[in-house]
C-alpha cells in the first residue's frame, strides 16, 4: 500500500498548500489509493523521521517497492506509472519534464521569495525595501508564462499532466495577493486545474486532519 506523510496540523496560512497535496493530487489523478501518515507537532524533526526524510519535511512516500522524498520526484515517479499524468511518447514526455522543472526551478523561486516576505517578514525593513523588486520579478515570470501558455489549456502537449500539478501548486502560493488577476489566462488555468475532481479530493483530504485537530483543540486557531 502506498503511504504519504503529511502534517496533522499547520497554521491557516499553510493549509491547502502543504506539499503533500502535490502527491495526493497525482495519486488521485492516477487512480491510486494511499494511506496518509500524519506527523504530530515536532515529529518531523525527530531522528526517526529524518531517517525517512533527511530534511524533516513532508511529503515522504513509500509503496513497498521504493521509498522517496521531494514532491517533484514523487509526482514524476507516480506519473511514470499513469497515462493520466504523462504521455508515453518521447516528445510528450519531454514536454512534461520541461514544464515540471520550469514550474519548480524557474517560477517557484520567485514566488517563494514573495511569500517569504509577505507571510513571514511583512514588517521587517529589509522586506519592505526588497518587495517591489521581488514582485516585479514575479510579474515578469508570470507574463512570460502566460505568453508561453498562449491559448492552450494545459502546459505540455495541451493535455493535463504532472507538470500542471506542480505549476498550479506554485501559482496557488500567490493566493495571498491579487497579482494573478492581472494575468487572466493564468488565473483561468489555475481555476481549471483546481476544478478537477482529483484536486478537490486531494485538497479536502489534506484539510480534514487540520479541521479535526482544530475541533479537538480550539486554542490552535485562537493562536
Ligand atoms: N523540496 C521539498 C520541500 C518540502 C517542504 O518544504 N515541505 C514543507 C511543507 S510545504 C515542510 O515540511 N516544512 C517543514 C520544515 O521545513 O520544517 C519538496 O518539494 O518535497
**Tens place of pLDDT per residue across the chain (223 aa):** 999 999 999 999 999 999 999 999 999 999 999 999 999 999 999 999 999 999 999 999 999 999 999 999 999 999 999 999 999 999 999 999 999 999 999 999 999 999 999 999 999 999 999 999 999 999 999 999 999 999 999 999 889 999 999 999 999 999 999 999 999 999 999 999 999 999 999 999 999 999 999 999 988 887 6
Q: Where in the chain are the domains?
A: 2-84+198-222, 90-196
Give the Cα separation of 153 and 138 in Å (integer). Answer: 22
Written as nine digits, the cell of 62 is 513509500
- Provide the CATH topology of domain 90-196: Glutathione S-transferase Yfyf (Class Pi); Chain A, domain 2 (1.20.1050)
Query: Of 17, 25, 55, 119, which is best to mutate to test ligand 1, by the most ligand atoms within 8 angstroms of its C-beta?
Result: 55
Q: From the CA of 72, give the closest atom in ligand 1.
A: 19
Give the Cα separation of 130 and 113 in Å (integer). Answer: 10
Query: Of 21, 58, 78, 167, which is best to mutate to test ligand 1, by the most ligand atoms within 8 angstroms of its C-beta?
Result: 58
Q: For 2-84+198-222, which CATH superfamily applies?
A: Glutaredoxin (3.40.30.10)
Give the Cα separation of 67 and 39 in Å (integer). Answer: 17
Helices (H), the chain: 20-30, 47-50, 71-79, 90-101, 108-115, 125-149, 162-172, 184-194, 197-216, 219-222
Q: What is the pLDDT of residue 154?
A: 98
- Which residue lies with its CA nearest to atom 16 of ligand 1? 57
Ligand 1 center–CA 49 separation, angstroms: 13
Give the Cα separation of 28 and 26 in Å (integer). Answer: 5
Ligand 1 center–CA 148 separation, angstroms: 29
Amino acid at each position: 500500500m502506498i503511504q504519504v506523510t503529511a502534517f496533522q496540523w499547520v497554521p491557516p496560512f499553510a493549509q491547502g498548500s502543504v506539499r503533500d497535496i502535490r502527491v495526493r493530487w497525482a495519486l488521485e489523478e492516477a487512480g491510486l489509493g494511499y494511506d496518509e501518515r500524519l506527523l504530530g507537532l515536532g515529529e518531523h524533526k525527530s531522528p526517526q523521521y529524518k531517517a525517512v526524510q533527511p530534511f524533516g519535511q513532508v511529503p515522504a512516500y513509500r509503496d513497498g517497492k521504493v521509498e522517496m522524498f521531494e514532491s517533484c520526484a514523487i509526482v514524476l515517479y507516480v506519473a511514470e506509472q499513469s497515462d493520466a499524468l504523462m504521455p508515453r511518447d518521447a516528445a510528450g514526455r519531454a514536454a512534461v519534464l520541461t514544464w515540471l522543472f520550469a514550474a519548480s526551478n524557474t517560477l517557484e523561486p520567485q514566488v517563494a521569495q514573495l511569500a517569504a516576505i509577505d507571510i513571514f517578514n511583512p514588517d521587517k525593513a529589509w522586506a519592505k525595501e526588497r518587495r517591489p523588486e521581488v514582485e516585479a520579478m514575479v510579474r515578469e515570470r508570470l507574463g512570460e508564462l502566460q505568453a508561453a501558455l498562449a491559448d492552450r489549456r494545459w502546459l505540455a502537449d495541451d493535455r493535463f499532466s504532472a507538470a500542471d500539478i506542480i505549476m498550479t501548486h506554485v501559482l496557488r502560493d500567490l493566493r495571498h495577493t491579487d497579482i494573478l488577476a492581472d494575468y487572466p489566462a493564468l488565473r483561468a488555468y489555475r481555476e481549471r486545474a483546481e476544478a478537477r475532481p482529483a484536486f478537490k479530493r486531494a485538497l479536502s483530504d489534506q484539510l480534514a486532519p487540520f479541521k479535526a485537530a482544530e475541533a479537538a483543540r480550539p486554542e490552535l486557531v485562537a493562536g
